[in-house]
Structure 1
Amino acid sequence: MEQQPHILLLPFPAQGHIKPLLSLAELLCHAGLHVTFLNTDHNHHCLTHLQPLSAHFPTLHFDSISDGLPTDHPRNIQFMRDILFSVKSVTKLRFRDLLADLSTKSERPVTCVIADSIMSFAIDIAKELGVRVMTFWALSPCSLWSFLCFPKLIEEGQLPVGDDDMDRMVRGVPGMEDLLRRRDLPGLYRLKLDDPFFISIIEDIMAMTRTSALIFNTFDNLEDPTISHIASLFSRIYTIGPLTTLLTSRIEHDVSRSLSSFNNLCEADRSCMTWLDSQSLRSVVYVSFGSTGLMTRGQLLEFWHGMVNSGKPFLWVVRRDGIEGAEGEHPIPEELQEGTKERGFLVDWAPQEEVLAHQAVGGFLTHNGWNSTLEGIVSGVPMVCWPTIADHQINSRLVSEVWRIGLDMKDTCDRSTIEMMIRAVMEERREEMMKSMDRIVKLAHDCVDQGGSSYHNLDKLIEDIKQV
C-alpha cells in the first residue's frame, strides 16, 4: 500500500495566521493526507481544547515548539517585535532539530512543509534536509504585491512614506497606479526603511520566491489582476479561499467537530448570540478590531460616542488587552452608559463567523484584517473600515474603492465621522453597497462549489503534494 504524504504546517504564532491554516489542515486530512500542525508551546496550550477533536481526524497530529519567550510574556501586538525576533532565533534552531527527527527518524517522514510566509527560516531548513517546502500567505494578495514591488517603489522615489501629503498617489505598484495613495500602502511602509522589523519582513517576503508553490486564502474573481502579476514570480500559485467556506462546501460533517469551530486563542462569549436573537432584522452593527487591534482610551471613547449617537444597536468586542493605557478607574460618561444599556452589548470575544451570519447583523465596523474582510464578504455584510496595521490599509481601500462594499475611515477617529459612516452603511448608502456585495458573495460561493476555481485549485494542490 502506497504511503500517504506527511505535511507539516507551520503558522506564525498569531490568531490571524493560525486560523486559516487550521482550515487547510482539515481539508488536507479529509483528502487522506497526514498532517502535523506545529504551534508554539504558548499557543498550543491556548488551543488544548482542540486535542479531543483529534479523534475525528485520525491523520492529524498537534505538536509544539518554543517561541523562546518567558511564560509570562504578554505576546500581544505591542510586543510583536519580541515575538518576531525570538521566533527567528530560538524557534528556528529548534525547528531544524524537530524537522530532522520527523524527516529521518519518524515512521512517517515529513514530505512537505507548508510554512507561513513570516516563518521563512523554514525554507532553507527544509531544503537543507531535502524536504519540499511551500509558502502560505495569510494576508491579502494585494498587500503581497505591494511588498514585492518594494524595489520598484524605492527606485521611483515613492519610499520612504513620510507624514507629509499622505494622499499623494503611489505609482510604483503596477495595476494599482490610480488606486493607492500613500496612506493605503500596508502599515509596514510607515516604518523607517532601516528599521530592523521592516527589513526582517521584507527579507521574509523576498525569500518566498525560493519555494515550490504559493498558497493564498482568496478566490480568483476577487483579485484576478493582482494574482496575474504575482504569478510571474512564482512557479505555482494556488488560490483556495475563502478557506472556511471551502471547508463547508467540501466536507459534510457536524460543525461542532470541525477544527474551524475551535480555532480561536480566545474563548468566545456566546451570550451575544442570545442577545442577537432578540434584535430586528439587519439592525445591528457588529464591531470588532480583531485579535491584535489596539486603541487608546481616547479612541475608545470616540467610537463609543459615535455608536451610541448613531442610534443603532451594536455588538462590540472590547478585548481586555486591546486598550492602551487602560489601567485604573476611569469614569465612563453617563450618556454612554445609558446608550449602551438601551441598545448595546459588549463582550471580550465573539464567535465572529456566527455573528456575521446572523440575520440581525446589518453592518460590520472592522479593522480589515484579511480573515475578517473575507468573513464580512462571505456573509454579505457591508463594512466601515478602520485599518491599523499589516495589510489592513490596502484591504480597506479595496473594500471602499474597488469592490464598493463599504466605507474607509482610515487615519480618522472622531465621533461625528463614525456616526455618519454607520448611518451611511445601515441606511443612506446601503442599497448601492448591497448590489455590489450580492455580486461578490455569489462569486465567492461559486468558487468553492464543485467545479469552482478554489475547489479545483485545492484538488491541484493535493495532487501536487502527492507527487513528491
Structure 2
Amino acid sequence: MDQKSQSNPPRVLIFPFPVQSHVNSMLKLAELLCFAGIHVTFLNSDHNHRLLLCHSGAHTRLTHYPGFWFATIPDGLPDDHPRTGDRIKELFYALSAVTRPRFREMMVSSRLGAETGGAVTCIIADGIMCFTIDVAEEVGIPIISFRTVSASCFWAFFCIPKLIEAGELPLRGDDDDMDRPASAVSGMESFLRIRDLPAFCRVHDLTDPGLQLVTTETQLTTRAHALILNTFDELEESALAHIRTHISKVYTIGPLHAHLATRQSAEPASLPPDMTRSNSLWEEDRSCMAWLDSQPIKSVIYVSFGSITVVTTDQMIEFWYGLVNSGKPFLWVIRPNSVAGERQIPTELSEATKKRGYMVGWVPQEEVLAHPSVGGFLTHSGWNSTLESIVSEKPMICWPYFADQQVNSRFVGEAVWRIGLDMKDTCDRLTVEKMVRDLLEVRRDEFLRSVHRMAELAKKSVREGGSSYRNLDRMIEDIKSMNCHVH
C-alpha cells in the first residue's frame, strides 16, 4: 500500500470500551491501520493502560510504528474496583458520568491532537459507547462504530424492539418457558430460542437499565459513518444481510487476530522478531506451554471463561469434578478474583489434578489454542475466543455467561455451525464429563471436520483477495478520503 509514503497521513483516534476483550481486538485493529501507514492515537483508560504497561509488550510494539500514540482517560472507577461479573454494569454508569464529559473536553479543545502528534481526522469508537457519536458530530469529525460482538448478536440486539412489539419480551412469570422461539429476530426464526437471546434480555421489566442501554446503544449505531465488525462474510452471511438493510456501510474485517498475522507475515521486517504480541491486562503464565508439550496430540481440554466471568464455588467444583471424571488432561485458567465465595477443595480433586491437570491464572490464549496438544476448548463463548478457536480448528463446549455469549453459543452448537456443544444454563459434573468425552473422543472426528471447513474459510477471508482483506482495504480508502476532505 502506497499510503506509507503519503506526506499527510490520516490520524485515527481509537477508543475502546475499557475491558480486556474490547481493548485486545481494537489494539489489533490499530496495528492493522499502522501497517497501512495511518497514524493512530489509542485512547485507553488510565486503569487499563497501567495494566497493559505491566503485563504486555503492547506499548513497546505499537509505539515502534511511526505516528502511533497512546493517550489515557479516566474510566470513573477506583483502581480496586473489580470491573468483572455483575459489577461490570457500574463501569457503564461511570463512563457516562465521568468519561463522557472528559472525552468531550478533550475533543472540543483539540488538546488530544496537540498532545499526540496531529489533528484527529477520524474516530473509531466502541459501539457500546455511543456518546462518542454525539461528541464527533459536535466537533465535525467522522466517526466509525466498532462492535466487538458477532454480527449475529448485533442483529439480535437490533431486533429487541421487534421482540418487545411481538410480546416475546419481557420474560413472563417466575418460571418462563426459555425454550420458546424468539421468532421476531429475522433470519433466526427456525433455531433461536428465548434462552439464546443476549443475557440482558433476561428481564421481567422493560425499564431494566441493562436492557435499555444495549437497545439504545445498538439503535444509535445507525448515526455513525460506518460499522466495523470482527467477523467475515462467509461465517455470518444471513445476519450481515439483515444489518445492511439498516446500515449501508459495514466493514467485516475479521477474524482480526488472523488478519493481523497475515499482514505481518507479508512484511516480516516491520517489527523486531522477538517482540511480544501480547495485549494482556494480566500476567501470562507461560509455564503452561511446557506442560502442553508433554501431552499427547489433541488430548487436552483447554478451559477458560474469559476476562469478566465470575463463577460460584459450587459451579467451580462441578466443572472440576466433570473434568477429572472425564479422564482427559485439562489446562484450566482461573483468573484472579474470578471465583465468588470460599474455596474448600476436596482432596480427591487436588490429587487428580496433580496427575492430569494444570491450573494457571492467565495464559497466552492464541498460542495455547494453536498448540497441537489441545483438542478442544471449554469456553464462555466470548467472540474473540470463538474466533480464535475457529481459526485454530478447536471445537468448543460453550458455557456462556452474559452479553453476546448466549447467541454465540447457539451458533457454535448443533443448531447452526455444528462446531461444538452448547451447555448454556447447565452446570453439573455429569454433563461436563459427557461433553468433554463427546468432544475429544466419541464425536471427535465429526467436530474436527466441521471446524476445519470453517477455519479454511476464515483463513481464506484474510488472505489477499479474500472478503475481509478487501473490506479492510476499502475501509482504509474510506479513512483516507476523510483525511483529504479535512485537509
Answer whether contact 1:53 1:257 (CA < 8 A) is retained.
no
From 159, 175, 178, the counterpart of 1:166: 178
User: How far off is 1:82 after superposition?
Assistant: 1.4
User: How far off is 1:67 after superposition?
Assistant: 1.0
CA RMSD after TM alignment: 1.5
Aligned to 2:8: 3
CA distance in 2: counterparts of 1:53 and 1:379, whole angstroms: 24
User: How far off is 1:76 after superposition?
Assistant: 2.0
User: What amino acid is aligned across from residue 296 of structure 1 in structure 2?
Assistant: T
Summarize deviations over 1:362-395 as a string: whole Å, max 9, x none: 0100000000000110000011110110111110
SS in structure 2 at match of 1:287: strand
- Relative distance call for 1:105 and 1:276 in structure 2 (3 A) is closer
- Relative distance call for 1:96 and 1:6 in structure 2 (3 A) is same
Answer whether contact 1:102 1:110 (CA < 8 A) is retained.
no
CA distance in 2: counterparts of 1:256 and 1:317, whole angstroms: 28
Aligned to 1:185: 197
User: How far off is 1:247 after superposition?
Assistant: 0.6
Q: Does 1:12 align with 2:28?
A: no
- Which region of structure 1 is more displaced relative to structure 2, 426-435 or 247-256? 247-256
From 370, 377, 384, the counterpart of 2:390: 377
Aligned to 2:319: 303
From 126, 135, 139, the counterpart of 1:129: 139
TM-score normalized by the length of structure 1: 0.96
Q: Does 1:108 align with 2:126?
A: no
CA distance in 1: counterparts of 2:38 and 2:113, whole angstroms: 19
User: What amino acid is aligned across from residue 13 of structure 2 in structure 1?
Assistant: L
Give structure 2 stretches of 5+ with no counterpart.
1-5, 483-487
Summarize deviations over 1:194-218 as a string: whole Å, max 9, x none: 1123212221111110001000000
- 1:132-211 equivalences under 5 Å are 132-162=142-172, 163-191=175-203, 192-211=205-224
- 1:67-466 equivalences under 5 Å are 67-100=75-108, 101-102=110-111, 105=114, 108-162=118-172, 163-191=175-203, 192-252=205-265, 253=268, 261-326=277-342, 330-400=343-413, 401-466=415-480
Answer whether contact 2:63 2:69 (CA < 8 A) is retained.
no
CA distance in 1: counterparts of 2:103 and 2:225, whole angstroms: 20
Answer whether contact 2:222 2:246 (CA < 8 A) is retained.
yes
Answer whether contact 1:313 1:343 (CA < 8 A) is retained.
yes
User: What amino acid is aligned across from residue 154 of structure 1 in structure 2?
Assistant: I
Answer whether contact 2:230 2:254 (CA < 8 A) is retained.
yes
- Which region of structure 1 is more displaced relative to structure 2, 421-430 or 200-209? 200-209
- Which region of structure 1 is more displaced relative to structure 2, 27-36 or 249-258? 249-258
CA distance in 2: counterparts of 1:414 and 1:235, whole angstroms: 45
User: What amino acid is aligned across from residue 238 of structure 1 in structure 2?
Assistant: Y
Summarize deviations over 1:250-291 as a string: whole Å, max 9, x none: 1233586667x2211111100000000000010000000001
Summarize deviations over 1:212-261 as a string: whole Å, max 9, x none: 100000001000111000001112000000001001111233586667x2
- Relative distance call for 1:275 and 1:348 in structure 2 (3 A) is same
User: How far off is 1:52 after superposition?
Assistant: 2.4
Answer whether contact 2:31 2:62 (CA < 8 A) is retained.
no
User: What amino acid is aligned across from residue 196 of structure 1 in structure 2?
Assistant: P
- Relative distance call for 1:318 and 1:221 in structure 2 (3 A) is same
Count of residues in correspondence between the two structures: 464
Answer whether contact 2:84 2:309 (CA < 8 A) is retained.
no
TM-score normalized by the length of structure 2: 0.93
Answer whether contact 1:297 1:324 (CA < 8 A) is retained.
yes
Which runs of at least 4 in structure 1 moved beyond 3 Å after TM superposition?
A: 102-107, 253-259
Answer whether contact 2:301 2:374 (CA < 8 A) is retained.
yes
CA distance in 2: counterparts of 1:204 and 1:249, whole angstroms: 32
CA distance in 2: counterparts of 1:105 and 1:84, whole angstroms: 28
- Relative distance call for 1:278 and 1:103 in structure 2 (3 A) is closer
